[in-house]
Amino acid sequence: MNRYKKANRGIHAPEDLKEKVVSARSPARRGHPVRWAAAAAVLAVALLAVAVFWPGGSPLAPAAHAAIVQAEYPDRAPYPEPNPITGEPDDAAFDAWWEENRALNQLPVDNGSMTDYYAATMAQFLGDNGGENAVYSPLNLYLALAMLAETTGGDSRAQILDLLGAEDLEALRTQAGNLWNANYRDDGHLTSILANSVWLDEDLPYNRDSLNTLADRYYTSSYQGEMGSQELNQLLQGWLNDQTGGLLKEYADGVELAPDTVLALASTIYFKAAWNDEFNQKATAPRTFHGTAGDVTADFMNQTWNTNYYWADHFSAVSKGFQDGGEMWLIRPDEGIAPEELLAESQLIDFLTARWDWEHVKFLEVNLSLPKFDVAAQTDLTAGLQALGVTDVFDPALADFTPVISEELPVWLSQVTHAARVKIDEKGCEAAAFTVLANAGAAAPPDEQVDFVLDRPFLFAVTSRSGQLLFMGIVNQV
């Protein structure tokens, strides 16, 4: 087993539960329970995304697997070890690593459809927060919905494809595959790992071809056990904690599959890096933050460096880079404008998705003053997805899950909950998120330097090395 197959950090299955998990050699074909005849079954989809941006530490440890279908991760060139004498990596090995990552970052993505998806979900899931902090993971939600599209058919699938901007399922597979590969990296230098899984009731007559497709196209492993049992719930919770390094333990330990659940999906993102240029802790000082709940004193990190400064009609922005991939974008609304107002403006999404071609940009000295923050939010996405046109999967009379369930059963999606957290300090940023689906303008800057003080509500975005939005949020309070 190569180390990337091991990196698909799965689960430690208790011995008594392993007997209940169906092996790949003998898939279950038992009759479905009486409860399915008496009442409609509920589809539960658990999607969990985690991103960690901080120095030090080690990748998550691999774990044993017991699965119906086991996904294998792609082999990737490792970051070359430095020569003990020169301290530099071997040129040939470094070139191989560099070329592979450059090629992956250039995988074609339909940026137009991604822009529409980001704009729609950003406004829907961040816009109505009542002055509280808000955060979500756009990329993880996209990949999770792509998996959901694979398990649905008819209008249920068509509505998901429409939200994701895909003409058909094959186009979605190509887009999702390129997004996955461009954002997956575990080479000993940068950690950006995605993991997916499917959980089925032990008596569910499933379609093996669909599970194989999920494994081949989305690197999804499949598990089977007794829904509602303590053993299966602990197995799922363990899988979630393994994939996230325990960062979301209080949330993951609360994820349980009810007895009438027939199917669950789980998707995770784990990203780990440090700032390119750490903040000097000695420069951190107290300052007043004018939040929506009133003024508070917070620790502000301070740094001056030469960088690009961007401005638009109602906001200005700078970025803080991570080592070897990705950036955190800091977006300051103009005086008198709330961050939520920017979500309805096309300029914000245009900037986030085409910032490399932005007209109003100037390279100058920026004096950044940024409060340490720890932003967490949990949101029910059910109504939001329905408002975005994904409705049939929530309707017992209309939901179509025939691609993955081999017998016609009344199955529907009952709930979608998303939780996320982003935390920053002088060394870097730590962030995590999960989703549970159960059944006027800024003036041009001065010539030499600008003070960029984030002492009032602002927006932030975490982008990957390939430029995709991993996290997006609003800091209304610190």
Domain ranges of the chain: 3-103+134-273+376-422, 281-375+440-475
User: What does pTM read for this prediction?
Assistant: 0.84
Whether 4 contacts 76, CB under 8 Å: yes
Distance (Å, whole) CA 261 – CA 409: 12
Q: Which of 20-29, 275-284, 357-366, 368-377 has the lowest mean pLDDT?
A: 20-29
pLDDT at 444 over 80: no
374-380 sheet: strands from edge to edge: 45-53, 429-437, 416-424, 374-380
Cα 208 from chain centroid? Answer: 27
CATH of segment(s) 281-375+440-475: 2.30.39.10
Q: How does strand 449-453 pair with strand 134-136?
A: unpaired
Q: What does pLDDT average to over the chain?
A: 80
Q: Give the Cα-Cα-Cα angle 45, 46, 47 (nearest 5 degrees).
A: 115
pLDDT reading at 158 higher than 90: yes
Task: Write down the pLDDT at residue 307.
Answer: 93
CATH topology identical between 3-103+134-273+376-422 and 281-375+440-475? no
Extended strands (E) in 255-373:
261-272, 285-291, 294-311, 315-321, 327-333, 361-371
Higher pLDDT, 38 or 449: 449
Could you confirm whether domain 3-103+134-273+376-422 is CATH 3.30.497.10? yes
Of 157, 161, 159, 183, whose CA–CA distance to 172 is shortest? 161
Q: E strand or H helix at 419, and its extent? A: strand 416-424
Q: Is the per-residue pLDDT at 24 higher than 90?
A: no
pLDDT at 217: 93
Lowest mean pLDDT among 7-21, 115-129, 303-317, 363-377: 7-21
pLDDT band at 370 (very low <50, low <70, confident <90, very high): very high
